Amino acid sequence: MNIKKIAVATDDKKLISDHLGRAEYFAIYTISADSILDKKYIKNIFTPHKKVKGNDNSSRERARHEHNDLIAALSECELVLSRGIGKRMARDLQIAGINGYVVVEEGAMDEIIEKYIRGELLIDRDGGCDHDR
């Protein structure tokens, strides 16, 4: 049985998030070739968007491209899904051996994972994100 872990960015523990770095949580799915075996949540305390509060642009700028904490938190995952992933984040994930894919469609996380398992999920492997959203 081929077991893998997939992280999905989410703000409400229901729907996939529009922006990986600004997501409130990450749902960590354990899947087999034909089903979801387990799901757990971790709070996003890892990305610069969540570490730097308020409008302190100098602190935000210093923290902007530090992804090591998030990559460490998601290191057990083979794949990370979101509706938006910045280019640097996607590159850092790739360097760490984690695929980061932009999901083209909106929807409930469980449905997105079920589509992934069936090979029906629409993804944009070259997608990015709009940091002005």
* CATH classification of the domain holding 51: 3.30.420.130
Averaged pLDDT, 18-27: 94
**Is residue 132 in some structural domain?**
no
**Is residue 60 in some structural domain?**
yes
Q: What percent of the chain has pLDDT over 90?
A: 66
pLDDT at 122: 92
pLDDT at 66: 78
Averaged pLDDT, 32-46: 96
DSSP reduced 3-state for 113: helix
- Dump pLDDT digits (tens) for 55-87: 555 554 545 557 899 999 999 999 999 999 988
DSSP reduced 3-state for 123: strand
**Is residue 129 in some structural domain?**
no
Cα–Cα–Cα angle for 40, 43, 49, rounded to 5 degrees: 140
Domain count for the chain: 1
**Is residue 80 in some structural domain?**
yes
Is the pLDDT confidence value at 132 over 50?
Answer: no
Q: Which domain holds residue 31?
A: 4-124
Amino acid at 113: I
Spatial separation of the C-alpha atoms in residues 10 and 45, rounded to whole Å:
13
**Is residue 131 in some structural domain?**
no
pTM of this prediction? 0.85
pLDDT-derived band at 133, boundaries 50, 70, 90:
very low
- What one-character-per-residue DSSP string does 14-66 give? SBB-S-TTT-SEEEEEEE-SSSEEEEEEEE--SSHHHHS-TT-HHHHHHHTT-
Cβ(10)–Cβ(16) under 8 Å?
yes
